[in-house]
Amino acid sequence: MAQFSKMPQIPRKDELLSKAFQRARKIKKIIDKHDRINSIREYEQNKISTVSTVISVTIDNILLKTPKIDTLDPFHKHMVELVIDADQFKKSLAALKWAARFNTGICHKYRRRLKGTPLKSLAPVRKECYGRVSSILKQVKKDFIFLEDSRNILKKLPNLKNLPTIVLAGYPNVGKSSLLKCLTGAEPQVQPYPFTTKKILLGYIDEKIQVIDTPGLLDRPLEQKNKIEMQAMLALKYRANLILYLIDPTETCGYCVEQQKSLYKDIRSSFEETQILLCETKYDLQPRKKTPKKSLTKDTPYFLSSKTNEGIDPLKKRLLRSIDWKTYSFKPISFKSPPGNK
């Protein structure tokens, strides 16, 4: 997701500490022969300042470049909540903020303490400060790890464009990803088993239409849908200007037509406002008869084959012709008999 791709890599707490201590080690020890104690004092104070600065700059940069989940648009916000523990994410950011502030305060205190410290105790006092800094970061060790793990998940979320958008939906294994490939040239993973697609994938028709391929849905209530299916539901709810509902009449997907029709009915009633086109997939596997092919439902479908490309170009042309650039959506696409792709 674009918003999270700018989030900087989150170091482990030990990485951050060694970076800070290493930077401090590089400070040159310049001793003024006439004022030995003060020059050493200044040297130790500089070391503390450097450690404090490295830690607070690193953490401030993380806080600045991490998007606020609550200000994301509803689709992205829900997607984030689906893939990571958003509450923990906020708590971990707050913990880092606390650590940075506390750390600055401690370092400030020790720098002042050095002012009244005798020569032989200067280095030990500075080391004591290092110990305090380490123990503060130790308290947020898990937060560094959690944030980095989350960043790695969030940066993989898709970058959606602001284009008229079609969402492909249907049971697992019905041919959604194959259709995405045919329509857009995208290279999704296609496998002969269900639940191949585990996250939403994108492709573009002539750079004018965005097509979202979703994980397979099962015909079951929303509360029972798993996190992978929920990504498909979010795409349908928030991003679909048009839904292509795919039915596999050959049942080679492993699900019977009745189940697929029942999900179709569900999707129609859940997304009443959205235009839905029915597509029957794997047309190459269907027995050819001389009489026009009969539809499985009362709605007239497009008959498509991603293997032989039958029906793909007419569908593409129809979609491109139907773009309504005023609303960034699609004009109503009506089917006139006889059913087919002409």
Ligand X SMILES: Nc1nc2c(ncn2[C@@H]2O[C@H](COP(=O)(O)OP(=O)(O)OP(=O)(O)O)[C@@H](O)[C@H]2O)c(=O)[nH]1
For ligand X, the binding residues (CB under 6 A) are 172-178, 190-192, 194-197, 215-216, 281-282, 284-285, 305-307
**What's the distance, Cα to Cα, between the start and end of the chain in Å?**
38
Which option in Mg ion, ligand X, none does residue 301 bind, with CB closer than 5 to 8 A by kind?
none
Question: Residue 72 or 285: which CB sits closer to ligand X?
Answer: 285
Question: Residue 140 or 304: which CB sits closer to ligand X?
Answer: 304
Q: Tell whether residue 197 is a contact of Mg ion (CB under 5 A).
A: yes
Q: Name the burial class of residue 338, with classes exposed (0-12), middle (13-18) and buried (19+) by CB atoms within 10 angstroms of its CB.
A: exposed
Query: 231 and 200 in contact (C-beta within 8 Å)?
Result: yes
164-193 residues in contact with Mg ion (CB under 5 A) are 176-177
Give the three-class secondary structure for 307: coil
Q: Nearest distance from residue 80's CB to ligand X, in Å?
A: 22
Q: Nearest distance from residue 196's CB to Mg ion, in Å?
A: 5
**How far apart, in whole angstroms, are the C-alpha atoms of residue 231 and residue 219?**
15
Q: Nearest distance from residue 79's CB to ligand X, in Å?
A: 18
Q: Tell whether residue 231 is a contact of Mg ion (CB under 5 A).
A: no
**How far apart, in whole angstroms, are the C-alpha atoms of residue 57 and residue 40?**
26
Contacts of 297 (CB under 8 A, 6+ apart): 247, 261, 264, 278
Which option in ligand X, Mg ion, none does residue 172 bind, with CB closer than 5 to 8 A by kind?
ligand X
Helix pair angle (141-154, 74-83), 10° resolution: 120
Q: Nearest distance from residue 179's CB to ligand X, in Å?
A: 7
Question: Residue 150 or 306: which CB sits closer to ligand X?
Answer: 306
Q: Nearest distance from residue 297's CB to ligand X, in Å?
A: 19
Which option in ligand X, Mg ion, none does residue 327 bind, with CB closer than 5 to 8 A by kind?
none
Question: Residue 103 or 306: which CB sits closer to ligand X?
Answer: 306
Task: Return the range that interacts with Mg ion (CB under 5 A); candidates 93-101, 121-129, 155-163, 194-202.
Answer: 194-202
Which option in ligand X, Mg ion, none does residue 69 bind, with CB closer than 5 to 8 A by kind?
none
Helix pair angle (13-25, 36-65), 10° resolution: 150
Specify the residue for token string 């080679």: 252
Q: Nearest distance from residue 217's CB to ligand X, in Å?
A: 8
Q: Nearest distance from residue 212's CB to ligand X, in Å?
A: 12
Contacts of 328 (CB under 8 A, 6+ apart): 162, 163, 164, 241
Q: Tell whether residue 150 is a contact of Mg ion (CB under 5 A).
A: no
Strand pairing category for 165-170 and 209-213: parallel
Task: Retrieve residue 21's tokens.
Answer: 């201590």
User: How far, in whole angstroms, is CA 341 from its chain's centroid?
Assistant: 36
Question: Residue 22 or 309: which CB sits closer to ligand X?
Answer: 309
Q: Nearest distance from residue 174's CB to ligand X, in Å?
A: 5
Which option in ligand X, Mg ion, none does residue 192 bind, with CB closer than 5 to 8 A by kind?
ligand X
Which option in Mg ion, ligand X, none does residue 204 bind, with CB closer than 5 to 8 A by kind?
none
Q: Tell whether residue 214 is a contact of Mg ion (CB under 5 A).
A: no
Single out the residue of 110, 123, 109, 106 nearest to residue 43, CA to CA. 123
Question: Residue 92 or 197: which CB sits closer to ligand X?
Answer: 197
Q: Nearest distance from residue 178's CB to ligand X, in Å?
A: 3
Question: Residue 47 or 176: which CB sits closer to ligand X?
Answer: 176
Question: Residue 118 or 287: which CB sits closer to ligand X?
Answer: 287
Cα dist. 161→13, 113, 156 in Å?
36, 56, 15
Query: 286 and 312 in contact (C-beta within 8 Å)?
Result: no
Put residue 341 in one of left, alpha, beta given phi > 0 → left and psi -120 to 50 → alpha.
Answer: alpha
**Which residues in this chain contact Mg ion in the complex, by CB under 5 A?**
176-177, 196-197
